[in-house]
Structure 1
Amino acid sequence: MDVLRRALGTLSLLYALIFLWFGLQHAGIGLGPEPVIVPAAIVETLCAAAMLIGAYGALTRRAWAWDGLIYTHATALAGVLLGILALALGRSEASPLLNGYHSSMAAVLAAGLAGAFYVSRVRR
C-alpha cells in the first residue's frame, strides 16, 4: 500500500502541473493554442490546488493521506466533468487537444479515485 500511496502522490503532483498548464493557457498566459476561457482557468487552478493538497498528504505520510487522495481526486474529477459538460453544451470551442485532455484526465482521476477508495476501505 505504501507503493500505491507514493505512486498516487507523485501522480497527483503531475496532474497538478497539467492543470496549472491548462489553467495558464485558458487565462491567456502561455504559448499554447487554447482559447482564453476565464471560468476554465479558475476551475483548473482549483483542481491543481486540490491535487497539490492530495500529493502533500500522500508524500509526507499524513494520517489523512488516503481520505485526502479520495477527496482531492473527486474534486478534480468533478472539475473535469464540468469542463466536459461545458464543451458539450457549446460554452466554448472544442479542440482535439482539449477533448483529449478532458477524456484523459477523467480516466486517470477516476482510476486514482478508485484505487484510493479501495485502499482506504481495506485499511479499515
Structure 2
Amino acid sequence: MDALRRALGWLSLLYALIFLSFGLLHAGIAFGPVREAVIVPAAIVETLCAGAMFAGAYGVLAERAWAWDGIIYSHAAALGGVLMGILALALGAGPSSALLSWYHSVIAVLLATGLAGSFYVSRVRR
C-alpha cells in the first residue's frame, strides 16, 4: 500500500506541473512550437488547479496527517476545474484546439482515477 501512496503523491506532483504548463500556455507563453490562444480565465483556473495539486502532493510525500483528505480534495477541485474547461469549450466560450481537447480528456480521466485511488487508499489506511 505504501507504493500506491507514494505513486499517488508523485502523480499529483506531475499533474501539478502539467496544470502549471497549461496555465502558462493560456497566459500566452509558448514552449517552442507549442502555443495556445490566450484565455485568461483558463490560465487562472489552471494555476489554481496546479496549486491544489502541489498541496496534495506535498501532504502525501511529506506524510502529513491531513495528506489523504488533502489529496482527495485536491483531485476533486482539479477535476472540477477541468470539467468547467470542458463545458466552456463545448459551449464555445473560447477558442479550441486539438491539443486542448486531448488534454482535457486525458487529464479528466487521470484525475477521476486518482480521486478513486486516493479515496480507496484513505479508507484502507483508517
TM-score by shorter chain over 0.5: yes
For residues 41-95 of structure 1, give each alpha carbon's deviation from its aligned partner in whole angstroms, at most 9, with x where no partner exists: 0000000000000010000111111111100000100000000000000011211
**5+ unaligned residues in a row in structure 1: which ranges?**
none
Structure 1 CA distance, aligned partners of 2:13 and 2:118? 15
The answer (yes or no) to whether the contact 2:5–2:121 under 8 Å persists in 1 is no
Residue aligning to 2:53: 51
The size of the alignment, in residue pairs, is 124
- Name the counterpart of 2:22: 22
Give, as a single letter, the amino acid of the residue that structure 2 aligns with 1:100. W
Aligned equivalents of 1:10 and 1:122: distance in 2?
Answer: 19
Give the corresponding residue for 1:68.
70
| Separation of aligned partners in 2, 1:120 and 1:19 | 24
Q: Which amino acid aligns with 2:111?
A: L
SS of equivalent residue, structure 1 residue 73: helix
Mapping for residues 1-124 of structure 1, pairs under 5 Å = 1-31=1-31, 32-124=34-126
- What secondary structure does 2:92 align onto? coil
Q: CA deviation at 1:33?
A: 2.0
TM-score, normalised relative to structure 1: 0.96
How far apart are 1:122 and its partner, in Å? 2.2
CA RMSD of aligned residues (A): 0.9
Give the TM-score of the pair, scaled to structure 2.
0.95
Cα deviation for residue 26 of structure 1 reads 0.4
Percent identity (aligned): 73
Letter in 1 for 2:22: F
Letter in 2 for 1:9: G
Q: Which runs of 5+ in 2 are unaligned?
A: none
